[in-house]
Structure 1
Amino acid sequence: MSDLEDISQHVHDRISSLKRLLDLSLAELPQNKMKKLGQEIFAIETLLEEFEKCVDHQREQLRNLQELEESFQKDLADVSHMKDNIPAHMPKREGPAQTREPVMKQTEAAVLQPAQQEHVRKSSRSFIREMDFITVPEFDSIPQYMRGRVSYEQLNAAVQSINTAVTTKYRILHQAVRTLNNHSRKLQQRFKEQETKQTKGHFFVVEEDIREFNQMKVDKRFQGILNMLRHCQRLKELRGGGLTRYVLL
């Protein structure tokens, strides 16, 4: 802006000088004065061209600043939207896909010490698989007729409830019988009786487990949520013996 002001002031001074020369032109001027008048006019024309270039440059800078401001405002709006819409649950990293112990070669098994073998067994038994939370794109992919009035937060709250039931169930299953009270022993026995060949190596719960560990109503609305979780490939159903088993995928 200072360059533009300097040029403007310089042009103004030259025009003032030119006016004085024109005022003097009413009288007869010597040839050298007429020549100087022509030089002044030429100089002012040159300055006006520079002035126009400077104005164009300033316009370009103003346009760039306006575009930068628009981009900044858009980024600010996006950040504000993300701040106001942080999901209650974030997707977790995928855990180990298999819960079974790795198969070792006979030579490797022979070298492995008994204490190390016991550690491997305990580590495998202590792992409990949980269902990953539903992401926003996954939720948007669920057909509207299937979603009904269930919100994104409500769906992930159900995921959390199922994870609580799974974790509580398998902690009881992994405990030694002598460490359990009477109620937990009955639960452990029930869990074992509900297992089948199809559920071996998988984690599952039944409706009774969800009610037992969450005090939730397993009603028609919850059945609709289970359908959405099947659609998102979080679980599958296995039926048999009068039970529906919800197996985590």
Structure 2
Amino acid sequence: MMKDMASSSLEDLCLHINMKISNIKKCLLLRDIGKDDSCKPVLRKIQNGVILVHDLLNKMENEVKQQEKLKDSLKEMQKAAERDQEEAQHLLEHIPRYLPEPQSRFYVVPTVKHKGQTKAVESNTEKKPAKEKKTIKEAALITTEEFESVPAYLKGRITYDQINAVVQEINKAVVGKYKILYQPLKSMSAPVRNLYHRFIEEETKDTKGAFFIVADDIKAFTQLKLDKRFHSILSILRHCQRVREIRGSGLIRYVIC
């Protein structure tokens, strides 16, 4: 067995030495070929080809790296798109046919006692008269169906959210105005009393029982700019029957429908 192992090691050593000798012979042969002038053009072409192949391999390696980065980015985009699609599908399946109308706001107005009121009414045994509740009418938000039905020449680039944002600001102005109108005069400060008298002066026989505001109310109670877009949105609100206009005495009164 020891002889077999020694024989095997000797054969491997001989094979290794023979390979080295073969490689040396090849190097000597190539060296001799390089000295041959007739072979030099071929060797230059081979050298240039090796350089071109090396450059091409570098470019391919860079391209592979870029493609890997692009693949990773596309995977992230795909995941984000799938999440957005799921959210959109959920919204589509649960979108209400009509948005809920805002609740009417109640304001308690203290009951004013008149001079001729008898003491019997003030008796402790009688129930105190209930305080009067008054409501303020607000415009309902625009529904998606109504928005889709608005003619393109009215909408332009105005979005659904921009329209409802203006509706909410108009409602803010309406509530601010009528909350003052429902207050007792004695409880008002001087600036508020001035507003109160302006509100009264702006009323006409056509506005009786209606809730309306004017441009000054929008300026006083909101941050809206009365620009071209605002008036375009007002046209849409008139089309959707959220507001109507009453003109007179140099004023445009926007009445809540």
Q: TM-score range by the shorter chain?
A: 0.5 to 0.7
Higher share of residues assigned helix: 1
Residues 117/194 of structure 1: CA separation in 2 closer, same or farther (3 Å cut): farther
Q: Which residue of 1 aligns with 2:175?
A: 167
- CA displacement at 1:169 relative to structure 2: 0.3
Deviation at 1:84, TM superposition (A): 6.0
Structure 2, unmatched stretches of 5+, are 1-82, 105-120
Q: Please give the alpha-carbon distance, in whole angstroms, between the structure 1 residues aligned to 2:225 and 2:238.
A: 19
- Tell me the SS of whatever aligns to 1:149: coil
Aligned match of 2:233: 225
Q: Whole-Å Cα distance in 2 between the matches of residues 190 and 134 of structure 1?
A: 30
Query: TM-score, normalised to structure 2's length?
Result: 0.53
Mapped to 1, the partners of 2:207 and 2:217 lie a distance apart of 16
- Mapped partners of 2:152, 2:207: distance in 1: 32
Which residue of structure 2 lines up, in the alignment, with residue 91 of structure 1? 99
Give the structure 2 partner of residue 194 of structure 1.
202
Report the CA distance shift for 1:95/1:200 in structure 2 as closer, same or farther (over 3 A): farther
2:140 maps to which residue?
A: 132
- Deviation track 1:113-171 (CA, whole Å, cap 9, x = no partner) reads 99999647x12x2x101100000000010011101111100000000000000000000
Give, in whole Å, the separation in 2 of the partners of 1:199 and 1:222. Answer: 23
| Corresponding residue number in structure 1 for 2:88 | 81
What is the DSSP-based 3-state SS (H/G/I as helix, E as strand, rest coil) of the residue aligned with 1:236? strand
- 1:151-201 Cα distance to aligned partner (Å, 9 max, x none): 100000000000000000000000011111111100000001101111111
**RMSD of aligned residue pairs (Cα, Å):** 3.0
SS of structure 2 residue aligned to 1:202 = coil
CA 117–132 in structure 1, closer or farther in 2 if over 3 Å, else same: farther
Residues 186, 227 of structure 1: alpha-carbon distance in 2 compared, 3 angstrom cutoff: same
With over 3 angstroms needed to count, the CA separation of the structure-2 counterparts of 1:157 and 1:187, relative to structure 1, is same
| Secondary structure, aligned partner of 1:81 | helix
| Superposed displacement of residue 78, structure 1 | 7.8
Structure 1 residue runs of 5 or longer lacking an equivalent are: 1-75, 97-112
Q: For the structure 1 residues 210 and 77, does the alpha-carbon distance in structure 2 shift closer, same or farther, using more than 3 Å as the test?
A: closer
TM-score, scaled relative to structure 1 = 0.55
Post-superposition CA distance 1:199-237 (Å, at most 9, x none): 111100001101111122111211111000000000100
Secondary structure at the residue paired with 1:238? strand
Q: 1:152 to 1:117 in 2, by over 3 A?
A: farther
Counterparts of 2:128 and 2:142, CA distance in 1: 37
Could you tell me which amino acid in structure 2 is paired with residue 197 of structure 1? K
Distance in 1 of aligned mates of 2:150 and 2:208: 30
Aligned residue in 2 for 1:204: 212
Structure 1 segments, 4+ long, off by >4 Å, are: 76-79, 82-87, 113-118
- Of structures 1 and 2, the larger Rg is shown by 2
* Corresponding position of 1:237: 245
Say if 2:190 is the partner of 1:182. yes
